[in-house]
């Protein structure tokens, strides 16, 4: 259970640390980081989570998965795509809407982590590019240093908070409602990451090998 609190929290600061080191530039390997995190997360969802949620679920399981996908689509109108490892926000104003939407997203995706070790690793890897994006947005904003640090810590705490709340939730409810809903959210994000990390739909051997690496490691899990 302690890993469900620590890993996502640490991953956010790893991403933010990368953003701080490279500011104001984007790391050259960002697309490869996204390709790996997207393929790793998607593979865990397909190989581990989808079979589990349908085996343990009810007739409404599919609706909860679809609900998660649709919810994430709506949430991205506020986040400007930050969950995918990039954003279209270029203002120096403090990104309140993006921060709020990312906190909601992080809280929800953290809810099943205490019960799903494989998903915990997938989400934690996914946190690194998100931490990089939110870190870059905070560093370029005109907010005070204290506000930036508080905002980053708040976002990093959301997934552990979700795991903590779920520890008091009925296990059957978690398996039948929360898990399929979160699977839908993450399924939309992971597939979008893979689609968006390809420029002009051209074949890229380096990216393809990175995707295979993500799939291979997820298969071992």
pLDDT in tens, 206-217: 888 999 999 999
Predicted confidence band of residue 24 (pLDDT cuts 50, 70, 90): low
pLDDT at 78: 79
The pLDDT of 172-181, averaged and rounded, is 90
Domain count, the chain: 1
The three-state DSSP-derived secondary structure of 4-70 is HHHHHHHHHHHHHHHHHHHCCCCCCCHHHHHHHHHHHHHHHHHHHHHHHHHHHCCCCHHHHHHHHHH
> What does the pLDDT look like over 135-166, one tens digit per residue?
888 888 888 889 989 999 999 999 999 999 99
Confirm if 110 and 160 have CB atoms less than 8 A apart. yes
Which domain covers residue 36, as residue numbers? 2-220
pLDDT at 23: 66
Of the listed ranges 109-118, 134-143, 195-204, the least confidently predicted one is 195-204
Of the listed ranges 47-56, 83-92, 178-187, the least confidently predicted one is 83-92
Predicted confidence band of residue 86 (pLDDT cuts 50, 70, 90): low
């Amino acid at each position: 259970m302690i890993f469900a609190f620590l890993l996502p929290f640490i991953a956010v600061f790893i991403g933010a640390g990368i953003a701080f080191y490279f500011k104001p530039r984007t790391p050259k390997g960002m697309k490869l980081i996204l390709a790996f995190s997207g393929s790793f997360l998607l593979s865990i969802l397909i190989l581990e989570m989808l079979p589990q949620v349908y085996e343990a679920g009810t007739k409404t399981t599919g609706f909860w998965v679809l609900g998660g996908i649709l919810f994430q689509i709506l949430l991205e109108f506020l986040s400007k795509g930050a969950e995918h490892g990039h954003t279209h926000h270029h203002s120096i104003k403090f990104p309140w809407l993006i921060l709020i939407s990312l906190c909601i997203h992080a809280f929800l995706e953290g809810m099943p982590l205490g019960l799903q070790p494989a998903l915990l690793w997938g989400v934690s890897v996914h946190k690194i590019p998100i931490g990089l994006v939110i870190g870059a947005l905070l560093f370029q904003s005109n907010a005070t240093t204290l506000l930036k640090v508080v905002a980053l810590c708040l976002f990093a705490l959301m997934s552990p908070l979700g795991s903590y709340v779920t520890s008091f939730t009925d296990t059957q409810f978690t398996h039948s409602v929360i898990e399929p809903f979160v699977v839908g959210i993450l399924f939309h994000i992971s597939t979008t990451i893979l689609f968006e990390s390809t420029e002009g739909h051209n074949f890229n051997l380096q990216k393809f090998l990175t995707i295979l690496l993500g799939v291979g490691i997820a298969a071992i899990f």
